[in-house]
Structure 1
Amino acid sequence: MEYSPSAISTGRRINGLMSVSATAALIEAGAPLAIAGRAEALAGLPRGCWIGGTTPYFMTESGGCIIGADQLFVTDFSHLGTVRVNRYDQDNLQQITAEAPHNGFALTIIPFHSACHKRFAQEAGSYPQAYLRPAIGWIAGFDLNDEGAQAQVFDGITGRSHTDRAVVLHIQLPEDFTPVINMINLFERDGGQTFHFDDVSFSPSHVVVDGVRLPFADYIRSRGMEHGRLPMVGGYAGAHTNVSLRSVHGDNVELYAPVFPDVEYGFARPVSDYAAEFRKRFESGPRESVAWSCNCILNFLYGELEGKALGSCAGPVTFGEIAHGLLNQTLVEVQVI
């Protein structure tokens, strides 16, 4: 579904694709927005109460899609409460949660492969109020067919783009509403060996398996996992959290999120039908209260989600997901109840 300017006056909740001109009209009407799309479309928008990030990949109610520069994905938060725009450099990321409202959340966009991305991934769990005033959001990306492309975020107040800043909508909810963060992870450990790491790292050189320290790249190949389709699943306080393989070249391994010491990891078992599994998860509860969601580029690619609908789920397809900290291969959503 593509929304038209008439949605502004009729009061319909906007969470989907719009033309660039309709998006500009919504900004000029004063709506607080989260916007995603290609950089050239975002760069042409007027100043206002909005933040944006780059990606051409989306899930809509009618299915996954790849858009051009004539469309944007827009979520309007006018109906939720008071909204403020903020931006932070890598040395002030802790303020994302410290300055978040006491009853609300911090919708956060950070560029992929930036210093902010790495610092947030490694440190977010220690931020003040991290689990009481949650950061949710996504890691901005780019068209995978555009060689040399760089992820960008946009601060609508100034109209400027950044390749190494976090942009945030701090959303204060009315006292009788509560934000609920859902993390929908299709992956479980395959029941094979578990392993751990010595340090916090996006590129660990070694892994400890059964008490033996091994070159990590060699271990990945010995398990037949160098294709990168299946994440490592770590146990954090009883929850399963994914860390996805970005590349394995020679002795070098790059990850989409860091590993942490004192966490046991195991490789995931395959998922046969991503779309069907997501739809099954959505059947267990009401969907009307979902205010925002995103899904991972690896789920989009490996689950072949282009053209496949997941039900009422709609939002950007991202290079990492944020729910308190950084996640991989996970659908993240916030419900307001």
Structure 2
Amino acid sequence: MKTNVIMNGSALEHLKELPEESINMCMTSPPYWALRDYGVDGQLGLEKTFDEYITKLCDIFDGVKRALKKEGTCWVNLGDTYYGSGKGAGGDISNSKEVWGFENKEKKNCEHCAKEFEGYAFQRFCGSACSGVDNTPREKKGELKDKCLTMIPMRFAIEMVNRGWILRNVIIWYKPNAMPSSVKDRFTVDFEYIFFFSKQKKYYFNEQREEKKDTWGGRWGKMPKGNRPNAMIGRKEMTKEEFAQKYQDRNKRTVWSLPTKSFSEAHFAVYPEELCETPLKAGCPKFNCVKCGSPKELEIEREQARRETALAETGRLKTEAQADLQRVNSEVEAKVAEANSGFTQRV
């Protein structure tokens, strides 16, 4: 199978082109529900209900599961949406340019009263009178009240587990430089979820370590009173300095503090490269020496991290992604040329 390939089109359809059990891992951040219009017909994220959105999203990951190796893993970054507040289908979003980022309007008919009005591509109703929860024609009326979190990430994770995935971790991506919010009746949301799934109980995972701060709260040296007699016989007493030197790091925790980063090209939802670093190091196999079998990791810059498949939504994004991919490939080839020729990738 070719690597470093950009497939432009429907993820659901292009996943069918991948051989069964052919990829080591998947990491993606799908479009969130009712938050942005990418200007593509049939796009994911503009479904009338979040139930429909979750169904379509999990159908795509059924395709990922088919193409993923038995020892493979899947990492999904997904954010939530507020219901009926202009940031989710059901509310009056005529004044939410800053949320959607599009200003072009078109003539269309209201789905409730059939009145003709000018609106954005994602608008379905002429105004708040027709977009209220009580009179909105949905499959299930009044599912949630306005301003309520839809809890889409949780609903998505549960549906994935129902479809046979094993949920190993719920990771919190804390954004210390999160965008300020104008809301006055709740707290500003400064985190998103990353779900870590596997296909089976045993899978490839390279443990990741992080610096450990001294959090020991016990006594040093002498045995506390009340312990069993002879409890410390044969044990060497450890000073605080010795403890700190021995346990300098620890298994990585599930709250990752990573600031967001700006992106000058035509993409509306780019996550920072550092966010991909840990899943790639944890989920992508290392390189093994063909002579002795010992692993060796090729040190390549974060932006050259092992890409398998990128699914671009528009031709414009595809062109820009191909240019970026060509640059990255040339840099990767230069790095690989410097590496020991006696190493090959483990599959």
TM (norm. structure 2) is: 0.24
TM (norm. structure 1) is: 0.24
In proportion to residue count, which structure has more strand?
1
Give the number of the structure whose alpha-carbon radius of gyration is greater: 2
In proportion to residue count, which structure has more helix?
2
